Structure 1
Amino acid sequence: MERRLVHHSRGRSRHEQEQIWELDYESLSDDEGDKHDEDKDDEATDPTDPTNPTEGSSKPGQKRKGTRKRRSKAWDTFDELPIGEDKKVCLSTGDVRQMILSSSQGSIALRNTSFDPKNFRDMITSIVVRHNPPLSFVEYEGIRDAFLYANPKATLVSRNTLKSDIIALYKYEKKQLFNMFKNYDGRVRLTSDLWTSVATDGYITITAHYITDDWVLHKKLLNFSYMPAPHTGITIADKIYKLLCEWNLEFKLFSITLDNASSLKDMDDSVVKVRESVKYIKGSPGRKENFIECIEQVALSRSKGLRQDVPTRWNSTYIMLDSALYYRRAFSHLKLSDSNYKHDLDDEEWDKMEGI
């Protein structure tokens, strides 16, 4: 079915002209549509109504015209005004400049393309939270030019305003999560991590793990807080309890897992020797090349590689010990080829590492 809309400015200026559209009914009809409408018209015609045509009033070979049913969604936006016998004017009831005629599966539909500045601003805030670009990216000249090219109304805020938007988003999401836990009937499992930054400031995080009614496991970061010294068991327990009270979870706690592994630094002399051995090998390019030669001489693969651990993280220490055990024979060969290597382990210590 072919449809044609022709815009008439009627000689007016751009700001004064009414958005009047002329709809040509002759171009809206096809054989199949006319036949379908004729069947409906026959059922809806009242023979007693003198305004309706009857069989006797129709001339031979003349097609009878009836009222077509308006199926297009365009009529939600346009009102019909008669101006002649064969043509009618459609006056827009909305801002046609914000609408686009799009074709989908052979039909015509209206799609709203209006720009919402608030929604655009919320999307920029979401980009920063999800992808972690610097706050100053909204002030990059190239970024601003790209958004203005896409839409002249797409103006970016300053970095200070963006910071305020992020804080507002955090408060909103925190309130939503607080209300969810308030109505939650299950138990919550917590995990916590504690570490010291390069600026010697202590921080603690608490993550909640819970299962919803549809048996889906979720996890939410509840707190990322400053943790003053000393980092003893009593101070950590007191800090965690205060944070739990902020969320009203002190009576919904199932379990808590801590990752305060500062005792790993001096857990065993064997672990310390392995850590120092890895540091020694990674300390200079010459030592690395020497150790690679030791690996080739004992016919081991270089792809696994030695891993340096973070002393306060259990998983990284485990990975370090696993990689060192793989190159156990290479370490023994390094002891013979490098007189400066002083952190070698005996067989008993290696066996202890396998037990750990």
Structure 2
Amino acid sequence: MSSIRPWRDIMRRKSRQIMVGTVPVGGDAPVTVQTMTNTPTSDAKATIDQIRRCEEVGADIIRVSCPDVESTAAFRQITRAARVPIVADIHFHYKRALEAADAGAACLRINPGNIGSADRVAEVVRAAKANGCSIRIGVNGGSLERDLLEKYGEPCPEALVESALDHIKLLQDHDFHEFKVAVKASDHFLAVAAYQQLAEAVDCPLHLGITEAGGFVGGTVKSAIGIGSLLWFGIGDTIRVSLSAEPEDEIRVGYEILKTLGIRTRGVRVVSCPSCARQGFDVIRTVQTLEDRLKHIATPISLSVLGCVVNGPGEARETDIGITGGGNGKHMVYLSGVTDHHIQDGDMVDHIVKLVEAKAAEIEAANAGVAQAAE
């Protein structure tokens, strides 16, 4: 079989690149995964602790709300402690943007039309330039300007795009070009259509999201459909999965979307069967346990967990490590697609965890050797 699979190719939209702190966004940079803290920003310790948990599961960029003076007062301590760039979320008061820029924000999330007069926009731009901040323009279907709602009658793709273009012009009028744009909506049809139109109109990086997507299950499905379809069409340079769940879960789901599309890999990719009467072991509980115990693995590894030998061998040939259910509690283990040895029920989970950890260490050592040789 040919290794060339054109039906998998995703041609990314060409966008210019900006920097969010030390992280490139747009151009040929990897699609980044973001989340947002939900602790009171004024509680620096709680916010830093949550940021650390998000960093551990792979967050590239983290947004922190700055609604008041107490929050921006704590912001400097937070940005100094963070290992990834921190975006200051600003909604109405332009002074919070000035304070956050001075306190180490890598990016300011603003809606230029909401922060007041042209003079105030100019002040924010000056502060961003002086501190090396980029800006993320955030347009949302739930907070469109009144004149656009009157013009279009309801939130629609054209209204979101017009709002975005108006806000872009406010920044460009001040010779500021280090910005990315989001046109989010809770209706994924609306959001996808707006992003498609905006992608044709501008060359800046686009931040993808389906806002107020819902709880963990429903929000994951809605986000996967909305964000996933845009990424499939090559649109999108950075993503946030907005869930009524912990920020760490948003990061995990974001990576799952990217892994499924073959855009970016992190951690263990599990291929598992839906369970049926043919299973030789409890596939559901085994997969749940393995996913939990392998959360700490960041190295890209594929693992197949199949309950029987109908599809098991075929799937195992395509993964780094695989297991298929057999009779009498005795199951076959595959390494690099080749049958290798058997394992009994009681030892199975611990054994698979050890195999994955060993494979991760082997890959990391090989990567380190390559990097050292290139120096």
Q: Is the shorter-chain TM-score for this pair beyond 0.5, marking a shared fold?
A: no
Larger relative contact order, structure 1 or 2 (CA cutoff 8 Å, min sep 6): 2
TM-score by length of 1: 0.22
TM-score by length of 2: 0.21
